[in-house]
Chain A
Amino acid sequence: MMAKTKNNLLANPFIRDYGMVFMLLLLAVLFSFLTLKEQHPTGADAGRQVAERILKQSTGSANVLIVTRDIPEDIAFADAAAHRLETGGAKILGRVAGDASDARTAIESIIGEGKQIDAIAANQVTSKWTVYDRFPTVGAAKCVVPESYSWPDFLKVSNLLGVANQTSIYAIIAIGMTMVIITSGIDLSVGSLVALASVVTAILIRDLGGGTSAGFLIVVVAGTAGIGLCALAGAFNGLLVTKFQVPPFIVSLGMMMMASGLSYRLSGGRSIPELPSSFFWLGGGQTWGIPNPVLLMIILYVIAHIVMSRMVFGRYVYAIGGNAEAARLSGVPVKLVLLTVYTICGTLAGLGGIVLTSQLSAGDPKFGLMYELEVIAAVVVGGTSLMGGQGKIFGTLIGAFIIAMIKNGMNLTDIDPFNQKIVLGAVLTGAVLIDTFKRRGGGK
């Protein structure tokens, strides 16, 4: 009771449950502020915008030259601009996709034909070329560029999706880790299981399916086998923890070494890149504009949240972490639940390994190195107590994103990697400290 008043800020249920979300938003605001910059639009949208401006400033049909570099987003820009200009009644004199000398050649030939250039559709880069001023009838003034605006690098959709994509694998593995830690256990083997799943799946695809020419079925079978092996490894961890009462730390430390050794042995320490393109859909593809790994992560989190908060199994997991003996004496099948939890953890580590393999287009025994620590950090920052019995699935997701955001933000603000490590370590320590204070605030 006395301790409650002492730390009542942290004991406050609102802060306790939503403090992490608040922290995440605060970080987002901070990094948005720090990475605020002049942004120059590119791509199709920018192309249409430039076309509109040209059509507006010229009466009747304007003669337009489109000047871009030879890169995909500039091509998209040129295509969209050309399309809009033509439908608006303007005349396209030519399209340049290259460097300044290409532009010069094009302008020379247009002038040679005796035509007049009313406007040049350019972007931020091509408008800066000095080539236009060589021609008295052209001049840089005729360049029309998309309007620039202020927007944080951090908040760019591409950046945010990139962060989400990179975090998704950690976050997926962290679901299983959260469950394990809620039972007051730990699983250090997840990083090695990522490598094991990656190597086993890649080898099966290469040796059974013929590598790059492998059919879809064999890809599915190989992926399932990789995940299945990790599920078995998780079950083995669970068995040792329940049946033989070996501390989870030791059990999973052993498994970590064994799984890592096995993946190096199977692969001969080499990367296995012979994978079919159908395999890359999982890690590299998109559905409804969202990268598939992110979508998979969201689906798994929703399921895990329902299991842990609405289902009997979740109740049992929390009960075991809170007081295993009391749970057993209340009829909870403690061993079965623990076995299941470790199996889930292994399975999700295996799934993470498959997604990573797909993202990086190769199986590799070096994958997953130190993932266990990243994942445990996400769980702890997300407010799950290492003492067991407390924690929320979505807390872990937030924890994973807090860490990812700090990393991304520090990259964008050019903080050097050594300092980044120091900051991340401090964040983790801080999270554990907060947990300790919460514990004191909440009672004994």
Chain B
Amino acid sequence: MNSVLRGNKTPLLEMRGIEKSFPGVRALKGVDLTLGRGEVLALLGENGAGKSTLIKMLGGALQPDRGSIRIDGFEVTLANPKNAIAAGIGIIYQEFNLIPGLPVWENIFLGRESSKAWIGRGEERRRTRELFELIGVSIDSDALCGELSVAQQQTVEIAKALSQDVRLIVMDEPSAALTPQEVTYLFKIIRDLKQRGIGVIYISHRLDEIFEIADRVLVLRDGETVGESSIEQLTRQRMIEMMVGREIQNEFPKHHHTVGKARLTVTGLTRGKSVQDVSFEIRSGEVLGLTGLVGAGRTELARLIFGADQPDSGSIAIDGVQTKIRSPRDAIAAGICLLTEDRKGQGLILGASVRQNFGLPNLPRLSVYGFVRERQERQAFAGYVSQLKIKIPHQEELARNLSGGNQQKVVLAKWLERQADILIFDEPTRGIDVGAKYEIYLLINELAKQGKAILLISSELPEIMGMSDRVIVMHQGRITGEIKDVAAATPEQIMELAVAAT
């Protein structure tokens, strides 16, 4: 049956030469994408490869700068989400657009209720039941959406799309929040959609799933199509190579650290599904790299160690001594600091001066009887300004007026002044220019040389491989592997662990 549908000459969806630029970034540099009827196309790529941008165009949330989108051979303009729905495109985002307090049938018909409400209710209920029958699931159409499981909510989203007579459905990491059983259930639905000639664009980092459900694979990297192939002609090795692609240049300063005793020992740390039974140690003078895909639980792990969130179970030992960390304040007192991933949202108080930002965690030391010793504060900060080459007109400059690199240096300065022994760097170079990046790398090496234990969290494989003495990889809240000899490892090896092949 599939072959019959695919036999139709004009593809269901055809995107040609799609380009899109944002200030400072060329997100898409001429991407082509074709989808046939009843076909499942897997869209692959690293974080930031351009997948989301492409999807948003199909949903009408973004418009291409150049290029065309055709459906059934007819060019369409998707200026807004309404256009997209009218063109028969349904998008299931990672965050569902369901209202928890409303019953399923109302959610499905939200925004396009029948004009005569008293007739509509029965009608809409009936149609909801029919939809569920059609895709072969049993969900109570009167249940409140908030009471459904994640998988059921997803099904409601799919049913909602189907009720709008969609021709193609885009699923953005639909399996991310699902259990294996629920994934099976999802695949059953996808196969059913295929049978009915609906095209599916499936985005996932889980290679196993792609082999199971996809007909064809399209790989994006840095906004370009780097490979397109039917699934039969692909090996998992080849797929990873296409995703990682770029060569790792020697943009990282060399380092030789003498590693000492264990500084931080984490045992069985668990919080919900985001961090599960994580154990590792960092030694004095060691840079431990931690990587994984977005949502793997890296930042969540960092927050647990720092006391920003509380673990369900597990323990933390510092220098071999079990330590209870109930709050960031405890963590700081125990000699741990966290350079947060979200610099502007969590690292800095943008409306305060850089000096005050610098002083914040150091006030207990920079004060007598509760009075801030501003002169000491000024002097201490001035030292870091010259040491870290922070470019500021004066110490009273507001943090928000600094460039990303300088902001990061202010955050670094405040933690260096704390003289913490355990430093957690969560994406320390994100959004920072090359020069400042290099300075931060040098600083990380210098800190390691001083015998500090450093946990370097990063999505950038070259950075992780260039800076770490040892690398651990997380996937879905668990550590899926450790690479002791980083020099001998390949990016493919790490990627393999990050998508959790084994």
A360 to chain B, nearest CB (A): 37
Interface size on B, residues (CB 8 A): 32
- B131-171 vs A, CB cutoff 8 Å, 1 = contact: the mask equals 00000000000000000000000000000000000000000
Q: Is the CB of A329 within 8 A of B308?
A: yes
Complex: A258 Cα to B350 Cα, angstroms: 38
| CB contact under 8 A between A319 and B352, given known A310-B371, A312-B363, A312-B372 | yes
Contact partner of A444 among B346, B361, B400, CB < 8 A? B400
A333 cross-chain contacts in B, Cβ below 8 A: 327, 329
A328 cross-chain contacts in B, Cβ below 8 A: 308, 327-328
Q: Is the CB of A389 within 8 A of B372?
A: no
| CB contact under 8 A between A323 and B349, given known A329-B308, A329-B340, A330-B328 | yes
Contact partner of B350 among A310, A323, A325, CB < 8 A? A323
| CB contact under 8 A between A311 and B346, given known A329-B328, A331-B360 | no
Complex: A310 Cα to B367 Cα, angstroms: 10
B429 to chain A, nearest CB (A): 19
- B205-223 vs A, CB cutoff 8 Å, 1 = contact: the mask equals 0000000000000000000
Q: Is the CB of B348 within 8 A of A323?
A: yes
B350 cross-chain contacts in A, Cβ below 8 A: 322-323, 443-444
Instruction: Give the interface centre of B328, B333, B340, B351 by most chain A CB atoms within 10 Å.
Output: B351
A323 cross-chain contacts in B, Cβ below 8 A: 345-346, 348-351
Instruction: Give the interface centre of B327, B332, B340, B360 by most chain A CB atoms within 10 Å.
Output: B360
Complex: A323 Cα to B350 Cα, angstroms: 8
B418 to chain A, nearest CB (A): 8
Q: Is the CB of B359 within 8 A of A315?
A: yes
Complex: A87 Cα to B327 Cα, angstroms: 80
* A 293-344 contacts with B by CB, 8 A: 310-313, 315-316, 318-319, 322-323, 325-333
A320 to chain B, nearest CB (A): 9
Contact partner of B352 among A310, A313, A318, A329, CB < 8 A? A318
B354 to chain A, nearest CB (A): 13
A431 to chain B, nearest CB (A): 19
Q: Does B338 interact with chain A (Cβ within 8 Å)?
A: yes
Contact partner of B332 among A318, A331, A389, CB < 8 A? A331
Q: Does B380 interact with chain A (Cβ within 8 Å)?
A: no
Q: Is the CB of B414 within 8 A of A330?
A: yes
- B348-385 vs A, CB cutoff 8 Å, 1 = contact: the mask equals 11111000100111011001001110100000000000
Q: Does B17 interact with chain A (Cβ within 8 Å)?
A: no
| CB contact under 8 A between A442 and B372, given known A322-B351, A323-B349, A328-B328 | no
Instruction: Give the interface centre of A323, A327, A331 by most chain B CB atoms within 10 Å.
Output: A331
Q: Is the CB of A322 within 8 A of B352?
A: yes
B314 to chain A, nearest CB (A): 20
Q: Is the CB of A319 within 8 A of B306?
A: no
Q: Is the CB of B361 within 8 A of A330?
A: yes
Smallest CB-CB separation from B330: which chain A residue? A331
A318 cross-chain contacts in B, Cβ below 8 A: 352, 356
A319 cross-chain contacts in B, Cβ below 8 A: 349, 352, 356, 360
A-side binding surface: helix, strand, loop or mixed? helix
* B 451-475 contacts with A by CB, 8 A: none
Complex: A218 Cα to B179 Cα, angstroms: 69
Q: Is the CB of A332 within 8 A of B360?
A: yes
Q: Does A260 interact with chain B (Cβ within 8 Å)?
A: no
Q: Does B183 interact with chain A (Cβ within 8 Å)?
A: no
B59 to chain A, nearest CB (A): 27
Complex: A390 Cα to B349 Cα, angstroms: 11
B417 to chain A, nearest CB (A): 11
A325 cross-chain contacts in B, Cβ below 8 A: 345-346
A322 cross-chain contacts in B, Cβ below 8 A: 349-352
- A270-313 vs B, CB cutoff 8 Å, 1 = contact: the mask equals 00000000000000000000000000000000000000001111
Instruction: Give the interface centre of B306, B338, B352, B372 by most chain A CB atoms within 10 Å.
Output: B352
Complex: A208 Cα to B104 Cα, angstroms: 64
Q: Does B398 interact with chain A (Cβ within 8 Å)?
A: yes
A316 cross-chain contacts in B, Cβ below 8 A: 363
Complex: A270 Cα to B306 Cα, angstroms: 56
* B 316-333 contacts with A by CB, 8 A: 327-329, 332-333
Smallest CB-CB separation from A332: which chain B residue? B360
* A 389-427 contacts with B by CB, 8 A: 389-390
Q: Does B401 interact with chain A (Cβ within 8 Å)?
A: yes
Q: Is the CB of A312 within 8 A of B371?
A: yes
B374 cross-chain contacts in A, Cβ below 8 A: 310
A312 cross-chain contacts in B, Cβ below 8 A: 363-364, 367, 370-372
* A 350-399 contacts with B by CB, 8 A: 389-390
A326 cross-chain contacts in B, Cβ below 8 A: 345-349
Complex: A444 Cα to B348 Cα, angstroms: 14
Besides A326-B348, A329-B346, A331-B333, 18 more A-B contacts (Cβ < 8 Å) are A310-B371, A310-B374, A311-B370, A312-B363, A312-B367, A315-B360, A319-B356, A323-B345, A323-B348, A323-B349, A323-B350, A323-B351, A325-B346, A326-B347, A329-B328, A331-B360, A332-B360, A333-B327
Q: Which residues of A contact B (CB under 8 A)?
A: 310-313, 315-316, 318-319, 322-323, 325-333, 389-390, 442-444
A-B contact pairs, 8 of them (CB 8 A): A312-B371, A312-B372, A329-B340, A330-B332, A331-B333, A331-B360, A333-B329, A443-B351
Q: Which residues of B contact A (CB under 8 A)?
A: 306, 308, 327-329, 332-333, 338, 340, 345-352, 356, 359-361, 363-364, 367, 370-372, 374, 398, 400-401, 414
